[in-house]
Structure 1
Amino acid sequence: MNEYNSRFDTSLKKQHFLPKYWGTWCLLGLLFLFSYCPIKLRDRFAAMVADKLYNAKFLNKRKKIAFTNLGLCFPKYSQAQKESLMRENLRAVAQISLSLGELAFRNRDFLLKRVNMIGEQHIKQAESQNKAIIFLGPHCYGLDYAGIAGLNARGYPISSMFKDYNNPIFDWFVTGYRTRFTKAIGKGALYHRSEGLKPVIKSLRDKTHFYYLPDEDHGRDNSLFTDFYATQKATLPMIGRLAKLGKAVVIPFFTSYNAKTTKYDVIFHAPLEKFPTGDELQDTLLMNKAIEKLIDENRSQYMWTLKLLKTRPEVGLDIYK
Structure 2
Amino acid sequence: MKEYNSRFDTSLKPAHFMPKYWLTWLSLGFLFIFSFIPVKPRDAFAAWVANRLYNAKFLNKRKKIAFTNIGLCFPDYTEQQKDALMRENLRSVAQIALSLGEIAFRSQSFLVKRINFIGEEYVKEAEANGQAIIFLAPHCYGVDFAGVAAISARGYPLSSMFNDYKNPIFDWFVTNYRTRFSRLHEKGTLYHRSEGLKPCIKSLRDKAHFYYLPDEDHGRDKSLFSPFYATQKATLPVIGRLAKLGRAVIIPTYTSYNAETGKVDVICHAPLAGIPSATEQQDTDIMNAAIEKVVDENRAQYMWTLKLFKTRPEEDLKIY
Quickly name the TM-score band, shorter chain normalised: over 0.9
1:193 is aligned to 2:193: yes
Q: CA 1:66–1:10 in structure 2 vs 1: closer, same or farther (change >3 Å)?
A: same
- Letter paired with 2:306: L
> How far off its partner does 1:128 sit?
1.0
Residues 183-209 of structure 1: CA deviation (Å, up to 9, x unaligned)? 212210000001111110000000000
Cα separation, 1, equivalents of 2:266 and 2:4: 26
Residue in 2 that maps onto 1:228: 228
Q: Secondary structure at the match of 2:220?
A: coil
The runs of 5 or more residues in structure 2 that have no matched partner are none
Residue in 1 that maps onto 2:208: 208
Q: How does 1:174-189 map to 2 (within 5 A)?
A: 174-189=174-189
Q: How does 1:305-320 map to 2 (within 5 A)?
A: 305-320=305-320
- Letter paired with 1:13: K
Residues 215-247 of structure 1: CA deviation (Å, up to 9, x unaligned)? 010000000001000000000000000000001
TM-score by length of structure 1 reads: 0.99
Contact kept, 8 Å, 1:2 with 1:206, in 2: the verdict is no
Cα separation, 1, equivalents of 2:141 and 2:183: 26
Residue in 2 that maps onto 1:135: 135
Cα separation, 2, equivalents of 1:234 and 1:244: 22
Cα separation, 1, equivalents of 2:297 and 2:219: 27
Q: Secondary structure at the match of 1:252?
A: strand
- Letter paired with 1:52: R
Q: Secondary structure at the match of 2:221?
A: coil
Residue in 1 that maps onto 2:40: 40
Q: Secondary structure at the match of 1:276?
A: coil
Cα separation, 1, equivalents of 2:195 and 2:226: 27
Cα separation, 2, equivalents of 1:184 and 1:4: 15
> How far off its partner does 1:5 sit?
4.3
Residue in 2 that maps onto 1:114: 114
Residue in 1 that maps onto 2:154: 154
Residue in 2 that maps onto 1:167: 167
Q: Secondary structure at the match of 1:221?
A: helix
The runs of 5 or more residues in structure 1 that have no matched partner are none
Compute the RMSD of aligned alpha carbons: 0.8
TM-score by length of structure 2 reads: 0.99
Contact kept, 8 Å, 1:5 with 1:190, in 2: the verdict is no
> How far off its partner does 1:103 sit?
0.5
Residues 52-101 of structure 1: CA deviation (Å, up to 9, x unaligned)? 00000000000000000000000000000000000000000000000000
Residue in 2 that maps onto 1:75: 75
Cα separation, 1, equivalents of 2:288 and 2:76: 20
Residue in 2 that maps onto 1:16: 16
